[in-house]
Amino acid sequence: MLSFEQITHAIDKWLFTTFNPSVAIVIEGLIVGLCMIGLFAVLGLVLVLMERKVSAYMQIRLGPNRVGPGGSLQTLADTLKLAMKEGLTPQGADKFLFNLAPFLVIVVAMLILAPIAFARNVQLWDLNIGILYVSAVSSLSVIGILMAGWASNNKYSLLGAMRSGAQIVSYELSAGFAALSIVVLTGSLRISDIIESQRDGWWLFKGHIPAIIAFIIFIIAVTAETNRAPFDLAEAESELTAGFHTEYSGMKFALFFLAEYVNIFIVCSIAATLFLGGWMPLHIGAWTGFNRVMDYIPSSIWFVGKTFFLIFVLMWFRWTFPRLRIDQLLNLEWKYLLPISMINLLLMTLIAIKGWHF
């Protein structure tokens, strides 16, 4: 069947045969840019709708079902409405930074998409420090939040921004350690290598207990990094009315909203790549028969499936748990996750060196 891979490469070849390289690359860049914008929009719409439906069913209700078939157009209506809503800037706010913050957040989210492998050989830039690049760029997003909270000239915003600042930077550590424990196994930061190394099974299964621990820690950490409940102190509605984007309205608010969901997608896809083999179908050792069957499912499906499963898990957390208090939150990181992940990393190193993994 026609897979993502073939399409993209056909386009690529055609461009480079018909035009001279520099023109071709410009055109290709144009296409890619449009695709990415499209991806953003679609992700925003789909994920928000998904969230609302999931929460609805967990809360024994129906959720949006009147706008469009089965409520499918609900989020579209919301987006349009937000676009048609006045975006006001409070006086006393630092206008420049206030307007800059949403841009920064969106651009950062965009940049992280570069090394993500959406399907077999479908990847913008397979750079040799893939994972490190992702964690590096994602550490930029906290600046956007601090900027927004700072510029709003609003107490709730400032409190929310400081909270999420401390929270995000803290949890970056354990996320990094968890990722490292896979890097130790693969011996490369390159995304494609990491996926390739799971040809005979996903690390989650190959890596014994340490891999599972690392996986859990990673999920918790990214939940905190994306300010999701139960770690959503930045937007703790009942305490600070809306956290760092209290003063944002209309499209600027929509951009924050969108960036939040795109970040969720990104971290989940990274988790899927590290532990569940990205687009790699479920292979088990040398069971060639089984593996071949699995290969019939196109790689893009695998990738999307895994990612959305993880996203669902995040939503499951959100709609089940109460919110932590700020000090408990930081305790969890510094007293539990960080030490555990350090020890876990050492175990993993031992396994890697001794080659005990499958």
Partner 1 sequence: MIEEISTTEQGELVVNLGPQHPSTHGVLHLVVTLSGETIKKVEPHLGYIHRSIEKMCESLSYRQFIYVTSRMDYLSSHINNHCCALCVEKGMQIEVPPRARVIRVLMDELTRLASHQLWWGAMAMDVGALTPFFHAFREREAINDIMEETCGARLTMNYMVPGGVMADIHPDFQRKVKEFTRFFREKIGEYDELVTGNIIFKSRMEGVGFLSAEDAVSYGCTGPAARASGVSCDIRKISPYEVYGQLQFEEAIETGGDCYARYLVRMREMRESLSIIEQLIDNIPDGEFQAKTKAVLKLPKGEFYSKVETARGELGVYIISEGGTTPYRIKFRSPGFSNLSALDHMARGYKIGDLVAVMGTLDLVIPDIDR
Partner 2 sequence: MGSFSLIVLVIAGVAFSAGGIAVSRFFVKGSSNPAKGEAYECGIPSSGTPWNQFNVGYYLYALIFLIFDVELVFMYPWAIAVRRVGMASLVEIVIFLFILFMGLLYAHKKGALKWM
Partner 3 sequence: MGWSSIVFYLISAFILITGLLAVTSRHLFRSAIWLLFSLTGIAALYFWLGMEFIAAVQIVVYVGGIVVLIIFSIFLTQQTGKQLPAPVRSRAIFSVLAVCIGFVLTCMLIRQYPFPPSRRFGQNAPDMSVGAIGSQLLSVSEHGYALPFEVISILLLAAMIACIVIAIKIKPGDK
Q: Is 199 in the site for partner 1 (CB under 8 A)?
A: no
Residue from 67, 69, 79, 6 nearest 43 by CA: 79
Q: What number of CA atoms fall less than 13 Å from residue 178's CA on the CB side?
A: 30
Nearer to partner 3, 188 or 249 (CB): 188
Give the whole-angstrom CA distance, residue 203 versus residue 215: 10
Say if CB 175 and CB 221 are below 8 A apart.
yes
Choose the stretch contacting partner 1; rule: CB under 8 A; options: 59-67, 92-100, 139-147, 188-196: 59-67
As a whole number of angstroms, the distance between CA 259 and CA 254 comes to 8
Q: Which stretch binds partner 3 (CB under 8 A): 2-10, 150-158, 276-284, 333-341?
A: 150-158
- The residue to which tokens 């748990």 are assigned: 321
Using CB under 8 A, pick the residue from 21, 92, 289, 322 that binds partner 1.
322
The distance of Cα 113 from the centroid of its chain, to the nearest Å, equals: 9
Only segment of 4-12, 89-97, 280-288, 336-344 that touches partner 3 (CB under 8 A): 89-97
Interface residues for partner 1 in 227-286 (CB under 8 A)? Answer: 229-230, 232-233, 236-241
Report the partner that residue 147 touches, choosing among partner 1, partner 3, partner 2, none (CB closer than 5 to 8 A by kind): partner 3
Could you tell which of partner 2, partner 1, partner 3, none binds residue 61, using a CB distance below 5 to 8 A set by kind?
partner 1
**Class of residue 238 by CB neighbours under 10 A (exposed 0-12, middle 13-18, buried 19+):** exposed
Kindly tell me which residue out of 4, 98, 150, 156 binds partner 1, with binding defined by CB under 8 A. 156
Sequence letter at residue 11: I
For the segment 320-339, give every residue that binds partner 2 (CB under 8 A): 326-327, 330-331, 334-335, 338-339
Provide CB contacts within 8 A for 57, sequence distance 6+: 63
| Interface with partner 2, residue 121, by CB under 8 A | no
- Compute the Cα dihedral for 221, 227, 233, 238 and give only its sign: negative
C-alpha–C-alpha distance, residues 342 and 175, integer Å: 11
6 binds partner 3 (CB under 8 A): no
Which string of DSSP letters, residue by residue, matches 283-312?
--TT-HHHHHHHHTS-HHHHHHHHHHHHHH
CB 201 within 8 A of CB 284: yes
Q: Which of 95, 187, 320, 346 binds partner 1 (CB under 8 A)?
A: 320
Which CB, 109 or 213, lies closer to partner 2? 109
323 phi-psi bin (left φ>0, alpha ψ -120 to 50, beta other): beta
Residue 251 parent element (H or E):
helix 250-276
CA distance 40 to 259: 9
Give the residue, chosen from 107, 212, 301, 313, that forms a contact with partner 2 under the rule CB under 8 A: 107
237, interface contact from partner 3, partner 2, partner 1, none, CB < 5-8 Å by kind: partner 1
x-marked contacts with partner 3 along 155-174 as a string, rule CB under 8 A: ---x---x--x---x--x--
Nearest approach in angstroms of CB 154 to partner 1 is 10
| Positions in the binding site for partner 3 (CB under 8 A) | 22, 94, 96-97, 100, 127-129, 132-133, 135-137, 139-140, 142-143, 146-147, 150-151, 158, 162, 165, 169, 172, 187-189
| Positions in the binding site for partner 1 (CB under 8 A) | 55, 58-61, 155-156, 159, 229-230, 232-233, 236-241, 319-328
